[in-house]
Amino acid sequence: MGNRAKNSDIISEYLDTLTTVKSYLEEQIYLGFSETQINRSSQDDSKEQSESSIVVYNNMDEIRSAVESCQLCPLHKTRTNVVFGDGSEEAKLVFVGEAPGTDEDKQGKPFVGKAGQKLTQIIEAMGLSRPEVYIANVLKCRPPRNRNPKPEEIETCEPYLIAQLRLIKPRIICALGTFAAQTLLRSDKRISTLRGRFHTYQGIRLMPTYHPAYLLRNPKFKRDVWEDVQKIMAEYS
């Protein structure tokens, strides 16, 4: 390997580390920890407020009931069902998609439409089954007309995903598509740039790859997805 290639590997690892530290700190701030520490001596009010806003979930049922009664963003008005997530709570591998579509909204389950069939094929080609893994989305409610999630919807809903991942503690996360990858990695890079190598999310190996719906529209990217899932399989076993 030439010096230039080595240097770019080092820089890319360094940037990954910075991204991991940044996302860890952001999560701590979200949970109220750093505010509590910084303000301990000077602003007791904000300490109390940040502590009271910490939501600690002890199990998946607690997260599920919070999601099922959630009215924090306008998407609750147009949903038929919330789509919480599905699979094993002891899964070593979690797939994270974008948001429920029409079929998912109707059935209350993630990835049950055409893109879901594609994802099931991918999981089975990896020698696994859906009940062995866990499948969740960044948004738990369907955006009207399947439009892209809005940043404020992602910000409001992401804590539920964070809570799910903290309980499951998977070894590997596969982020499906731009929104899942950019949200978890706090990145604005394109999925074509992010995919193909492991990143780190809260100490967990995270592989971004193309979304199965994108694959249905662009079958020429099948090979890329297959390369990505092979890397996951090598890490999994």
Contact residues: ligand URA, CB under 6 A: 83, 97-101, 104, 110-111, 115-116, 137, 213
Closest distance to ligand URA from the beta carbon of 186 (Å) = 19
Helix (H, G, I), strand (E, B) or coil at 120: helix
Nearer to ligand URA, 83 or 207 (CB): 83
Closest distance to ligand URA from the beta carbon of 183 (Å) = 12
Nearer to ligand URA, 43 or 192 (CB): 192
Closest distance to ligand URA from the beta carbon of 18 (Å) = 28
Q: H or E segment at 208?
A: strand 204-209
Closest distance to ligand URA from the beta carbon of 115 (Å) = 4
H helices of the chain, in order, are 3-31, 33-39, 44-52, 60-68, 75-78, 102-107, 114-125, 151-168, 177-185, 191-194, 212-217, 222-236
| Spatial CB neighbours of 100, under 8 Å, sequence gap ≥ 6 | 79, 83, 110, 137, 139, 140, 141, 142
Contact 112, 104 (CB under 8 A): yes
Closest distance to ligand URA from the beta carbon of 135 (Å) = 7
Nearer to ligand URA, 31 or 232 (CB): 232
Nearer to ligand URA, 20 or 183 (CB): 183
User: Can you tell me the distance from the alpha carbon of 38 to that of 40, in angstroms, rounded to the nearest whole number?
Assistant: 6
Query: Which residue's CB atom is positioned nearest to ligand URA?
Result: 97
Place of tokens 């890319």: 12
Nearer to ligand URA, 54 or 131 (CB): 131
